[in-house]
Chain A
Amino acid sequence: DLRDSTLPLLNSPSVEGDAIKVYVRVRPPSEGTALTDGDQGLCLSVLSSNTIRLHSKPEPKIFTFDYVANMETTQESVFSSVAKNIVESCMNGYNGTIFAYGQTGSGKTFTMMGPSDSDNFTHSLRGVIPRSFEYLFFLIEREKEKAGSGKSFLCKCSFIEIYNEQIFDLLDSASAGLFLREHIKKGVFVDGAVEQVLSSAAEAYQVFFVTSTSMNRESSRSHAVFTITVESMEKNNDIVNIRSSLLNLVDLAGSERQKDTHTEGLRLKEAGNINRSLSCLGQVITALVDVGNGKQRHICYRDSKLTFLLRDSLGGNAKTCIIANVHPGSRCFGETLSTLNFAQRAKLIKNKAVVNEDTQGNVS
């Protein structure tokens, strides 16, 4: 069974201690479903650039986020407010992560990739991912010009998929279940994942596009993580300065699949069909332990693969943003509400640096 596709609260510090930025984008309704007067048929309205009102009964709900993009917002503007800063930090040695979240049909693919019928890298409606590639390589070129021969760059990418708590390498179709491991110098990595060297934005896009379209599993059930590693080497006299950072682009499983997990709502897990195992008892107990505060305990159940892989992204030297996509139609009310609730929770992910300290008054 899928274990939490949502992000648990992680204790991760961040240099600037910034919480995860949450960006909500409302897509326009499809062609032909023309809007009638007075927002009929719509379940939400954008009040300002960071508030949104959901027409719930009996009381409307108001949500506040870092940004709320209305239906008119352009692809360029989404990129500027969400990803530009993250790509820049990546050049400065930070890790950056962009998550896309939303139900199928909420405009997630359009936001991240662009129009589905176009593999044209320069399409004016291209999405966050191609624009990020462009901008990253543009910055690299600029750096190179500034520094002359003193500075060199190496970009590599990997592309993995997490399906049913198993990890598959999308760049190596022959591979089966890979493992996550940690290295004291390099952090978390997927053991044995293929890394492909990239020399241009077009090449990055090509790898990404070809691989994404050849994926044959139902993508709404899996998380896909495309990672670009940017390594730079700078020579100053005899000192070599090496920097390395990661840019993760994450396509989360469709939010309508959240009900497969135990994190949404209050569903009791049916155990009638499960032979001897009461498989979610562990989750209940884990939650009980989580409520108890104090650090001196150990919980036997590990993070999900996704949160483990992105451990640094949820803090550490990372800048992270979640783009939550919603469809304004009344028929999507339920999904929209759960997406906004998820995004609200994500805002609470606070990067916590807990330092053990004994509160003793041994001050003389």
Chain B
Amino acid sequence: GSGWAAVCEKFRTARTLSAVESRKDPETEPYRSKYSARALLQEVKQLLSAAEEGGEARLVAVRRAVLEYELGVNHTDTEELSAGEEHLQRCTQLLEPHRLSPDCVSLYIQAQNNLGILWSERDEIKTAQTYLESAEALYNQYMKEDGNPPLDPSEHFMSEEEKLTDQERSKRFEKAYTHTLYYLAQVYQHLEMIEKAAQYCHTTLKRQLEYCGYYPVEWALNAATLSQYYLSKQCFMESRHCLAAASVIFSQAGQVPSAEDNETEQDQQDLRQRKAEIARCWIKYCLNLLQSARKLLEDNIGELDPDRQLELKAQRKKEEDEKEKGRKKAVLFGTSDICDSVLAMEEKVSSVYPLDFQEAREIFLVGQNYVREAKEFFQVDGYVTDHIEIVQDHSALFKVLAFFEEDYERRCKMHKRRIDMLEPIYADLNPQYYLLISRQLQFELADTYYEMMDLKVAIGNRLEELDSHTIKKINSLAQLAIKYYELFLDSLRNPDKVFPEELEEDVLRPAMVAKFHIARLYGKLITSDSKKQLENMQTSLEYYTFLVDYCEKYPNAVRAVETELELSKEMVGLLPTRMERLRAKLCPFI
């Protein structure tokens, strides 16, 4: 009758107060609307008790459970956890016998969700976990045994003509379950069950797509970030799938008018930045795939191992037939049309290890394209750190591509490309504000010159005799490598220009490697002047000695530089004898 209509009206007002009005509450009274909503719910509860006479017991119980649920959430929202817990517990008790029936299952799951949240507020994450996992189990059981779209809790206070369509019911039910999974993702992350957490994040994303409950930009960023998790696990197929989906969904973002629909310059800027962020995730994908392939293919001196290459190619042929089977169905994002776009996107880049230069180059080119795209937004003016990180990735792409290149001259040219992109940036950079990046650039430049010098030496070794041009080249590359290693070591000095007595753990290895490489470089310098040669040997010896002495003084350092230390000890033993011989040649009459 009309009494019931009034009850429903009160109930609806309470819900509106709670969900909509409360957002406008002043900071000084943050819970004003929540308290008004609570008062209304209490009134409804009173009215309900009066109307219970002669009502059907089950219907009454369910309606009461709805109110207990609303009151429970309300108290939790206002930080009254104990009262909130009592209401929610009462709700689940009322529903317990009927929890698998279509008019209760959704409410029961939502009550469990909220008990999960409540216990997490008390830092009792294990308890929260049990509630959420039981909600998950109930959903699965219901879908298996019944599967009809269940009633939404709000429908218990609606007139017949207001009742929801099956489609709407289904949507709301699935949303509540998506939240269960989303909370579980958080719980597993807190419990450091990383893989499980990732799986639940993944499923949450997938369900957001299925039930159209997402903002394209946010979704795309989450998927792109998740791709980076798979990268760290070396799951390239999953990583690529996430990225392809991110790109596809992101491209919808420009087309869908935003909620406010008054796109400001700021929003446009944001959108461009997000696009560049996704491009950066793609760069990392290409880079990791190439680097992992290199790890598989390299021998113990970091060169490509042809036997290994043949072996891996044979193995891959075998696996290709199995490839499609390996695709986990659960991984795939999206409904059919999205799915097709994602698959098309995926086809642009491989997800299997490249095993020769041709294959590596294709991945490299994709990566390089994304470098261009990312740089369009992250320009050096305004985005120094981001811009340099992208350039560093670009350099790393060249470096790993060079590994696959068999021709030493062409390999050298690739390293030259790295120098050309890093040097100008390094020259402009103020180390007072960018010390870390500055050090990284010094070290990388030094390493690149060092590598180029090694290549030139290898090329020279194939010649009958070293020509003066090659000698000049080798020497100048060695000098440049020394220059940058020294710059790096100087950056460790204190304001009074004193080199630290004991090195910090995080710079220990790089500093030692720099010292060791400088020692080797002095050994490589080519000169016909024996005096000069003797000087170089002396310098070389000093640097080797530094390593040996340091490790003697600080035995903890040994672990970080085992190989280098061993070789340094050897050189400290050998060099004086060699120098003696050279001296004897210089002054044969003494």
Any B CB within 8 A of the CB of A271: yes
C-alpha gap A364/B300 in the complex (Å) = 12
| Residues on the B chain within 8 Å of A362, using CB | 301-303, 454
CB atoms of A357 and B509 under 8 A apart? yes
CB atoms of B301 and A281 under 8 A apart? no
| Residues on the A chain within 8 Å of B27, using CB | 218, 221
| Residues on the A chain within 8 Å of B392, using CB | 356
Any A CB within 8 A of the CB of B361: no
| Residues on the A chain within 8 Å of B444, using CB | 356
B window 540-564: CB within 8 A of A: 563-564
Any A CB within 8 A of the CB of B589: no
CB atoms of A267 and B121 under 8 A apart? yes
Binary contact readout B492-536 vs A (1 if CB under 8 angstroms, 0 otherwise): 111100001000101101100100000010000000000000000
Given contacts A289-B225, A292-B228, 7 further A-B contacts (CB under 8 A): A13-B506, A218-B27, A276-B215, A281-B201, A284-B189, A288-B189, A355-B488
A window 291-342: CB within 8 A of B: 291-294, 296-301, 311-312, 315-317
Any A CB within 8 A of the CB of B197: yes
Any A CB within 8 A of the CB of B434: yes
CB atoms of A292 and B563 under 8 A apart? no
Any A CB within 8 A of the CB of B106: no
- Per a CB cutoff under 8 Å, which of A279, A291, A357 touches B194? A291
| Contact (A354, B440) CB under 8 Å given A268-B117, A296-B291, A300-B274 | yes
| Contact (A361, B221) CB under 8 Å given A268-B117, A296-B291 | no
A356 nearest CB across to chain B (Å): 6
CB atoms of B225 and A282 under 8 A apart? yes
A window 231-289: CB within 8 A of B: 244-245, 265-273, 276-282, 284-289
Interface segment among A37-45, A72-80, A184-192, A205-213: the answer is A184-192
CB atoms of A355 and B510 under 8 A apart? yes
| Contact (A315, B301) CB under 8 Å given A268-B187, A288-B189, A300-B281 | no
B451 nearest CB across to chain A (Å): 9
Please name the residue on chain A nearest to B204 by beta carbon: A281
Any B CB within 8 A of the CB of A350: yes
CB atoms of B228 and A297 under 8 A apart? yes
CB atoms of A355 and B439 under 8 A apart? yes
| Residues on the B chain within 8 Å of A272, using CB | 73, 113, 179
B window 563-581: CB within 8 A of A: 563-564, 567
CB atoms of B208 and A183 under 8 A apart? no
| Contact (A288, B186) CB under 8 Å given A15-B495, A182-B383, A355-B443 | no
B376 nearest CB across to chain A (Å): 16
Binary contact readout B256-290 vs A (1 if CB under 8 angstroms, 0 otherwise): 00000000001000000010011011011001100
Any B CB within 8 A of the CB of A17: yes
CB atoms of A184 and B430 under 8 A apart? yes
Smallest CB-CB A-B distances: 6 pairs: A292-B232, A187-B433, A17-B504, A360-B302, A355-B510, A182-B384
If over half of B's interface residues share one DSSP class (helix, strand or loop), that class is named, otherwise mixed; here it is helix
CB atoms of B120 and A267 under 8 A apart? yes
Chain B residue total in the interface (Cβ 8 A):
99
Chain A residue total in the interface (Cβ 8 A):
75
| Residues on the B chain within 8 Å of A71, using CB | none
C-alpha gap A280/B225 in the complex (Å) = 13
B180 nearest CB across to chain A (Å): 11
Any A CB within 8 A of the CB of B413: no
| Contact (A298, B283) CB under 8 Å given A15-B495, A355-B443 | yes
Can you show 23 pairs from A to B with CB atoms below 8 A apart?
A: A15-B491, A17-B506, A182-B384, A184-B434, A187-B433, A266-B120, A266-B190, A269-B186, A276-B215, A281-B204, A282-B225, A288-B194, A289-B226, A292-B232, A297-B284, A297-B288, A298-B284, A301-B225, A312-B432, A351-B506, A352-B506, A353-B439, A355-B507
CB atoms of A276 and B214 under 8 A apart? yes
- Per a CB cutoff under 8 Å, which of B117, B231, B298, B433 touches A188? B433
C-alpha gap A89/B290 in the complex (Å) = 45
| Residues on the B chain within 8 Å of A267, using CB | 117, 120-121
Binary contact readout B405-436 vs A (1 if CB under 8 angstroms, 0 otherwise): 00000000000000000000100111111111
CB atoms of A298 and B228 under 8 A apart? yes
Residues of A within 8 A of B (CB): 11-17, 92-95, 177, 181-188, 218, 221, 244-245, 265-273, 276-282, 284-289, 291-294, 296-301, 311-312, 315-317, 350-358, 360-364
| Residues on the B chain within 8 Å of A280, using CB | 186
Please name the residue on chain A nearest to B303 by beta carbon: A362
Please name the residue on chain A nearest to B524 by beta carbon: A364
| Residues on the A chain within 8 Å of B439, using CB | 13, 353, 355
| Residues on the B chain within 8 Å of A301, using CB | 221, 225
CB atoms of B186 and A182 under 8 A apart? no
| Residues on the A chain within 8 Å of B192, using CB | 291
B267 nearest CB across to chain A (Å): 13
| Residues on the B chain within 8 Å of A284, using CB | 185-186, 189, 197, 201
Most A-side CB within 10 Å, residue of B192, B201, B283 = B201
Please name the residue on chain B nearest to A217 by beta carbon: B27
B111 nearest CB across to chain A (Å): 12
| Contact (A299, B434) CB under 8 Å given A268-B186, A272-B179 | no
C-alpha gap A335/B284 in the complex (Å) = 41
A246 nearest CB across to chain B (Å): 9
B460 nearest CB across to chain A (Å): 14
| Contact (A278, B208) CB under 8 Å given A292-B233, A353-B506 | yes
| Residues on the B chain within 8 Å of A273, using CB | 19
- Per a CB cutoff under 8 Å, which of B182, B284, B494 touches A15? B494
Any A CB within 8 A of the CB of B385: yes
C-alpha gap A267/B579 in the complex (Å) = 69
CB atoms of A183 and B436 under 8 A apart? no
Please name the residue on chain B nearest to A315 by beta carbon: B436
Please name the residue on chain B nearest to A191 by beta carbon: B382
Please name the residue on chain A nearest to B274 by beta carbon: A300
CB atoms of A285 and B128 under 8 A apart? no
Most B-side CB within 10 Å, residue of A185, A288, A289 = A288
Any A CB within 8 A of the CB of B205: yes
| Residues on the A chain within 8 Å of B125, using CB | 266
B80 nearest CB across to chain A (Å): 15
C-alpha gap A291/B215 in the complex (Å) = 26
- Per a CB cutoff under 8 Å, which of A182, A270, A271, A361 touches B300? A361
Any A CB within 8 A of the CB of B380: yes
C-alpha gap A15/B494 in the complex (Å) = 6
Please name the residue on chain A nearest to B202 by beta carbon: A285
Please name the residue on chain A nearest to B246 by beta carbon: A300
Any A CB within 8 A of the CB of B224: yes
- Per a CB cutoff under 8 Å, which of A281, A292, A300 touches B182? A281
| Residues on the A chain within 8 Å of B493, using CB | 15
Any A CB within 8 A of the CB of B154: no
| Residues on the B chain within 8 Å of A296, using CB | 231, 284, 287-288, 291, 396
- Per a CB cutoff under 8 Å, which of A93, A277, A299, A355 touches B218? A277
| Residues on the A chain within 8 Å of B197, using CB | 284, 288
